[in-house]
Structures are given as structure tokens and as C-alpha cells.
Structure 1
Amino acid sequence: MSDEDVIAAMREWLEKAVIGLNLCPFAKAVYVKNQVRFVVSQAPHLDGLLEELDRELDFLAAADPEAIDTTLLIHPTLLPDFLDFNDFLQLAEAAVDEHGLEGVIQIASFHPAFQFEGTEPDDMGNYTNRAPFPTLHLLREASIARAVAAFPQAETIYERNIETLEALGPAGWAALWKAQPER
């Protein structure tokens, strides 16, 4: 799969699920202002992916937030197993600390088989973090703090998302991804 195809699939996911279902009320503003950086990794092994994460952490920390506010580091083939991906997150979090970016940048994780602890694989709540490919979302903590301050009752987003997805159900989720007829 080409990098362009991967990015197109991620954009579709952002537009239809994250923004379209309002799973993240903060996503639309940075997306429409083209402040989301999409980086596709083709690293053949975890060490290479960690090196790319190192570069992206440094890049995002140095970038003007008005130009690039957040980064999606996507790997279309590495870490297809969610438990392996989840284990890798410990290394990713350690990289944030090693770069001295704790409290500056945090990582959110997305995976095609994402599963919250204590849930069944098919629980609709898991779909809040299901993306087409294993993805590390690098977020500026200052941007999160500004967004949360501007959003009343930000702590309720998670519960609202689960309600939205449960109401949508598996059939509704599947319908989001059906090709739209050309007009």
C-alpha cells in the first residue's frame, strides 16, 4: 500500500469517524487548518519505527504550533496484533521522556483492533480508538489544555463517545465505510 493510500484512508477515518461523529470535538479545528501532520512509516522493524518516532518528537516540539499542531505517525504493516502494539506503547512513552518532552507532548494510540481493558473485542466503545492502521498520535499538551478549557465538561467526552457508538452499532459503523455512489 502506498503512503498516499494510507494517508487517504486516515483522512477518511478522521472525516467520517473522528470529526463526522464528533468523537473528538477538538479535531476539526486543526484538521481544517491543515495543522495535522501525517507521517507514514515503512520501517521494517520496531527499532526503525522508534527512530522515526524520535525524529517526529523532535520535529513536533520544534515546529510552530500554528503550522503543525499534531502528528499522526502511522505504520500500515508493523504491529498488526493489538497486544504487541500495546506493549510497544511503553517504548513510545519512554521516548517522550528520553526527549525531555514529558508534560509537553503526549501520545494517544489508535489501532484497527483497539480494545480497552476489561472489554470484549466487539464492544462498540473500543471503536473510539479504532483507526485503519496502528497509529501514534503525538499531541501538544498545551493545545490539549487550551481545547479542554474551551470545551465545557470535557471529562464527559469519553462517555458521550461510547453512547454515540453504541447507538450507531456495528451496522452503522460498517455503513460509514461503504463507498458513496458517484453523482
Structure 2
Amino acid sequence: MNTPSFEEEVVAATRRWLEKAVIGLNLCPFAKSVHMKGQIHYIVSAAQSVEELQSELVDALLFLQQADPAQVDTVLLIHPHVLDDFLEFNDFLEAADMTTAALGLEGDIQVASFHPHYQFAGTDSDDISNYTNRSPYPTLHLLRESSIDRAVEAFPEASDIFEKNIETLERLGRPGWDALFDEEINNVKKN
């Protein structure tokens, strides 16, 4: 039996999070379709510095721009070795937006963010609402604006998603969130 590489483990953990939290809890009603169609492209960054990540971001943005939307609708640029500190990650988002604009992709592609220590302004670090954007690894989500527009047309209450997500997580609570991912560990222990 082959042992999965670190990159394969990172992608597998991100897929589990996507399937169990983002899709399973319906935190993003648009994610299921692109996931089921295999239109999410996962890139695991080897970057060890912000400069290296910046270069990989440029490559990922250009890749998404040039990719056939029927094949690749969105990109998750997962960077497990850099920007583990949430405040540094949050500061980098401005550079990500500036990079998107400098490439002439503003209005075509936007960058969303997920992080293991994500924290909304005005919340405590352990506030359950932060878990709407908590992923296993720091992740830049590159989305086509045209896809967002189509999704919003299909889901007219898109502006209510954030509030519904917080309500969902408050009902679930931290024990419920932890149980989503403990199931695999418990199954391994039983076998």
C-alpha cells in the first residue's frame, strides 16, 4: 500500500472539509455543483515565503483565466507552509487583490479566503461564527466573477448566506463542528 504524499494529504483534508462543512452544512450553496462536476482545481503550494506564494498566486490566476470554465470553474490555492499566522494572512489579502488588478483580472476573478484561524473583526477567536471560513490549511479561493453572477441569479437570497451560516454554526456548536471530523477517527479506532 502506498503512503499518500504530503500534497495528497493536504488535498484530501481540504476535500473532506469541503464535503463535510462547506457542502454538508450548506455554508456555500454554490459549492456542491462545481464539486460534483469536478470543476475545482486544487493547487498545493510549496511556497516557503510570501514572495514565493505571490508568484504562485500569479500563476494560479493566469491558469484560471486561461482554463476552460467547463473544466475548471474555481481554484483552491492551498499554502500550508506560509502565512500560518492569521493576521499576516489577512494582510496578504490586500496584495492578492492588488495582484488580481495588476493582471487586469479585476472584475473577472476574485479572491476569497479561508484559514484555520480565521477570525472576523469584532469576534473572539473561539467564536463559532469564525468557523464559516475556517479550513484545514490557509487557502486562497480564486473564483470567476461570471460564476458568482450565475450562482446569485440561481440563488436570489445570496445576501442572506452569511447570516444563515452563522445560525447554522450556532445551532451546531463547537462539539457538533468537531464531531463532523471526528467521525473518521472513530471509524478507524473501531476497525
TM-score by length of 2: 0.93
Give me the CA root mean square deviation: 1.1
Q: Quick one: which amino acid aligns to residue 154 of structure 1?
A: A
Q: Quick one: which amino acid aligns to residue 75 of structure 2?
A: T
Aligned to 1:103: 107
Q: Provide, for residues 46-89 of structure 1, a one-character-per-residue CA deviation record: whole Å limited to 9, x for no partner.
A: 11111100011111011111000000000112111100000111
Provide the aligned length of Structure 1 versus Structure 2. 183
How far residue 123 of structure 1 moved from its aligned partner, in angstroms, is: 1.1
Q: Is the 8 A contact 2:39 2:72 kept in 1?
A: yes
Distance 2:59 2:112 in 1: 17
Distance 1:46 1:105 in 2: 21
Q: Provide, for residues 104-138 of structure 1, a one-character-per-residue CA deviation record: whole Å limited to 9, x for no partner.
A: 00000000000001111111111000000000000
Match among 50, 54, 61 for residue 50 of structure 1: 54
| Correspondences of 1:1-183 after superposition (within 5 Å) | 2-180=6-184, 181=187
Distance 1:50 1:78 in 2: 11
Distance 1:160 1:25 in 2: 11
Secondary structure of 1:109's counterpart equals strand
Distance 2:49 2:129 in 1: 30
User: Where does structure 2 lack aligned partners over 5 or more consecutive residues?
Assistant: none
Secondary structure of 1:83's counterpart equals helix
Distance 2:80 2:179 in 1: 23
User: Where does structure 1 lack aligned partners over 5 or more consecutive residues?
Assistant: none
Distance 1:24 1:164 in 2: 12
Distance 2:142 2:110 in 1: 6
Structure 1 segments of 4+ aligned residues over 3 angstroms from their partners: none
Identity of paired residues, percent? 58
Distance 2:82 2:54 in 1: 12
Q: Quick one: which amino acid aligns to residue 123 of structure 2?
A: T
Q: Quick one: which amino acid aligns to residue 182 of structure 2?
A: K
Distance 1:90 1:139 in 2: 16
TM-score by length of 1: 0.97
Secondary structure of 1:177's counterpart equals helix
Distance 2:51 2:99 in 1: 12
Distance 1:92 1:20 in 2: 29
